Amino acid sequence: MAALLLGIDVGTTFCKAVVLDAGGHVVAQHREPTPWTAVPTGAEVDPDALAAAAIGAAVGALAAAPAGRVAGVGVAGMAETGVLLDAGGRPLTSAIAWHDRRGAEQAGAAAADLGAEAFARHTGLTPGPLCSLAKLAWQRRYLPATRRARRWLGVPEWVARRLGGDDIAELSLASRTGLLDLHARAWWSPALAWLDVPAALLPDPAPSGTGIGRVGGALAGARGAVIAVAGHDHVVAMIGAGATRDDDVLHSAGTAEAFVRTSPARLAPDCVQEAVAGGVSVGWHVLPEHWALLTGGELSVPLGGIGRMLGLNDREARERVDAAAHALPDTEPTPRLDGLDGTSELSLRGIRPGTTPAHVWRAAVEATAALGEAALGRSDAVAGAHGRIVAVGGGVRGHAVRAAKERRLGAIDWSPVGEATARGAALLGGLAAGAIETWDELCGVAGAARAAEGAHV
């Protein structure tokens, strides 16, 4: 019976799953909405409902796949959001969305008490509300039941546990918590002491592609498959898109946008601090002994929000307006969109008689491309000139979008892979299972199969 690989991406908007054949081609896929509950500060999710959605996506993908034995399952997904468990392994409270504003006060206190420069030097992050540390501090302050917690797991690690895996802290995910000392590859003691939590709250850090057990009854279609936590969605997408060379850059444009730069050299602590001060976060890559430089957090909302404002509520409407924007003559006056970097309210300047949604869309894509150029320049300042740019995600569809980015960034490899994170997770599951024997083989499969993706789904 043919060996199959299953990848799960626990994403912000959807939980997605793909099935790969032995050649690394996607042969089936399925998605389920991520079941957030909206709250005034952002969103939260019931951990059991989230695991059910992720496993439901896997069930749907397997149901559409050809017959075969699933050898390995990899789980990737959003970072920063985590699940607190009691002594019996049951969730104690809802999980706070990574983009939720709770924890801002606690992040400020952490910066003051631990020292913002020391925090950056050790963790590769700015002490802000995005960090898991700030969310944990808020929960311990306002939800007394969470003080009984015996374990904290990131979202992909939680789903892997529900499938039957042992607890680990995958390094690319741990790098987003504000609790990991990057240089020691161990939990940072001063941060744990500041939170007043024991080190045992967090499982031991481990690299991506580590086998942590076998699938049990939670996913009958993959029973017995080896489980791996693949890692942080943006970084795992580099594997799925075939962006595995040193100095490659992935432009990931889904619900959140980012530029992820592979760095084969580890930075000294002072260099990490300087990178963070320059707007670059630093963490462990899923590629062995490589680091990931992440920029572009200010790009997380723009085009989707502008599209909704223009009433572009489906793909067809967006593509129609994008085509009209692309067809505008270069000499056609275009409004200017200000505030896209999040430092002020959005404002559109230069509106004239005859301004259309196409003009506004062109203004938005041009402004977003300019932000992307600045974001990529920040990581270049840390690590030198970048190599290839590989782009994935729904946010890079459209002629106007692509033309604006190429004018700013130069040649871009527009990846045909539809679900790069889930595909990368499946390949990393295959590595854990031994279906893919070495990292060199994994990188070869990742690159060789991606060009044929469109013919398989």
The DSSP code sequence of 430-446 is HHHHTSS-SHHHHHHHH
**Between these two residues, 100 and 255, which has the higher pLDDT value?**
100
Q: How large is the average pLDDT for residues 10-15?
A: 95
- The values of phi and psi at residue 190, to 5°, are -60, -35
Cross-strand pairs, 347: 338
Maximum distance among all Cα pairs of the chain, rounded to whole angstroms? 66
In terms of Cα–Cα distance, which of 34, 40, 428, 17 is closest to 206? 428
Which range (194-198, 299-303, 329-333, 416-420) has the least confidence?
299-303
Query: How many angstroms separate the CA atoms of 245 and 261, rounded?
Result: 10
How confident is the model over 67-91, as pLDDT tens digits? 999 999 999 999 999 999 999 999 9
The model carries a pTM of 0.92
Neighbours of 223 (CB within 10 A): 15
Q: Which residues contact 79 (CB under 8 A, 6 or more apart)?
A: 98, 154, 155, 172, 173, 176, 177, 232, 233
Q: How many CA atoms lie within 13 A of 99 on its CB side?
A: 18
DSSP state of 220: G
How confident is the model over 98-147, as pLDDT tens digits? 999 999 999 999 999 999 999 999 999 999 999 999 999 999 999 999 99
Confidence of residue 452 (pLDDT cuts 50, 70, 90): low
Residue-level pLDDT at 255 = 63
Residue 112 has which token pair? 């003051």
> Over the chain, what is the mean pLDDT?
92
